[in-house]
Amino acid sequence: MAESFPIQAGIDEAGLGPLLGPLSLGWSAIESSVEGADPWNVLAPLVCQDAPRSKKLDSAHLMVADSKRVFTRNPRGRARLERTALAFLAQLHGQADLPADGSFLANGPLGPDLRWVEGAPWYGELALPGGAVPVHSSAGTLELTAERLRRAFADGGMGLVDGGVRLVPALELNHSYQRTNNKAMTVLEYTFQALIRLWERFSMRGLVVTVDRQGARAHYAGPLEGAFPNTTVTVLEEKQGTSSYRLDGLQGTPAEGTRMLVSFTEKGEDHSFTTALGSCFAKFGREAAMEAFNRFWSEKQPGLKATAGYTQDGRRWLVDAGAIVAAEGLAPGVLIRDR
- 42-69 pLDDT per residue, tens: 999 899 999 877 777 677 789 999 999 9
Task: Enumerate domains of the chain plus CATH numbers.
Answer: 7-328 (3.30.420.10)
Q: What is the pLDDT of residues 14-53, one digit of tens each?
A: 999 999 999 999 999 999 998 889 999 999 989 999 987 7
DSSP state of 238: E
Tell me if 281 sits within 8 A of 27, measured CB to CB. yes
Question: Any idea how long the chain is?
Answer: 339
Residue 310 pairs in a beta bridge with none
Q: What is the pLDDT of residue 102?
A: 87
- Distance between CA atoms of residues 84 and 63, nearest Å: 6
Note whether 153 and 180 are within 8 A (CB). no
Taking a C-beta distance cutoff of 8 angstroms, is the pair 266, 245 a contact? Answer: no
Nearest to 8 by CA among 262, 295, 247: 262
Instruction: Quote the DSSP letter at residue 330.
Output: P
- Average pLDDT (87-113) is 86
**Model pTM?**
0.96
Report which of 194, 127, 126, 192 is spatially closest to residue 162, judged by C-alpha positions: 194
Q: Given this model, what pLDDT does residue 75 score? A: 93
| Distance separating alpha carbons of residues 327 and 182, to the nearest angstrom | 32
- Cβ proximity of 236 and 246 under 8 Å: yes
Q: Is the pLDDT of residue 275 over 90?
A: yes
